[in-house]
Amino acid sequence: MLKSMTGYGVSNIESDSINVTVEIKTLNSKFLDIYCRIPRNYSEKEIEIRNLITQSMERGKVEFTLTVQPVGKTIASTSVNRPLINAYYQDLIATASELQFAPDLTELFRIALQMPNAYNNETVDETSRENDWTQIKVAVMNALHKCTVFREQEGKMTSDKFTDYIKNIENLLAGVTEQDKQRIPNVRERLEKQVRELLSDDNFDSNRFEQELIYYVEKFDISEEKIRLANHLTYFIETMKASESNGKKLNFIAQEIGREINTIGSKANDVAIQHLVVQMKDELEKIKEQTMNII
Q: How confident is the model at residue 103 (pLDDT cuts 50, 70, 90)?
A: confident
Tell me the mean pLDDT in the region 283-290: 96
Total domains present in the chain: 2
Write down the pLDDT at residue 81: 83
The alpha carbon dihedral of 278, 281, 285, 286 has a sign of positive
Whether 23 contacts 144, CB under 8 Å: no
Which candidate, 62, 4, 58, places its Cα nearest to that of 33? 62
Residue after which a domain boundary falls, among 154, 169, 191: 154
Residue 239 lies in a domain: yes
Q: How confident is the model at residue 117 (pLDDT cuts 50, 70, 90)?
A: confident
CA distance 227 to 171: 14
Q: For residue 240, what are the domain limits? A: 156-291
Q: 262 and 200: one domain?
A: yes
Write down the pLDDT at residue 220: 79
Lowest mean pLDDT among 86-90, 152-156, 235-239: 86-90
Residue after which a domain boundary falls, among 154, 187, 213: 154
CA distance 266 to 177: 15
User: pLDDT tens digits for 3-52?
Assistant: 999 999 999 999 888 899 999 999 999 899 999 999 888 889 999 999 99
Side-chain half-sphere CA neighbours of 176 within 13 A: 31
Write down the pLDDT at residue 74: 55
Q: 93 and 188: one domain?
A: no
Q: How confident is the model at residue 124 (pLDDT cuts 50, 70, 90)?
A: very low
Whether 17 contacts 130, CB under 8 Å: no
The alpha carbon dihedral of 154, 156, 162, 165 has a sign of negative
Q: 114 and 164: one domain?
A: no
- Please state, in angstroms and as integers, the Cα–Cα distance from residue 171 to each residue in 165, 197, 261, 282, following that order: 10, 40, 13, 14
Between 288 and 243, the higher pLDDT residue: 288
Average pLDDT of the chain to the nearest whole number: 88
- Please state, in angstroms and as integers, the Cα–Cα distance from residue 32 to each residue in 29, 35, 102, 248, following that order: 7, 10, 39, 14
Rounded percentage of the chain residues whose pLDDT exceeds 90: 55
Classify the phi-psi angles of 72: left when phi > 0, otherwise alpha if psi is within -120 to 50, otherwise beta: left
Q: 113 and 179: one domain?
A: no
Write down the pLDDT at residue 208: 67
DSSP state of 99: T
Q: 188 and 250: one domain?
A: yes
Q: How far apart are the first and last CA of the chain?
A: 10
Write down the pLDDT at residue 4: 95
Whether 46 contacts 36, CB under 8 Å: yes
Tell me the mean pLDDT in the region 272-278: 95
Q: 147 and 224: one domain?
A: no
Tell me the mean pLDDT in the region 60-89: 82
- Coil, strand, or helix at residue 214? helix
Lowest mean pLDDT among 243-252, 272-281, 285-294: 243-252
- Please state, in angstroms and as integers, the Cα–Cα distance from residue 70 to each residue in 15, 37, 80, 122, 147, following that order: 9, 18, 11, 11, 26
CA distance 69 to 114: 8
Write down the pLDDT at residue 70: 82
Q: 11 and 147: one domain?
A: yes
Q: How confident is the model at residue 55 (pLDDT cuts 50, 70, 90)?
A: very high
Taking residue 197's Cβ as centre, other Cβ atoms within 10 Å add up to: 10
Q: 70 and 191: one domain?
A: no
Between 141 and 128, the higher pLDDT residue: 141
Between 198 and 179, the higher pLDDT residue: 179
Between 79 and 74, the higher pLDDT residue: 79
Which candidate, 281, 272, 264, places its Cα nearest to that of 175? 272
Q: 28 and 132: one domain?
A: yes
CA distance 124 to 230: 67
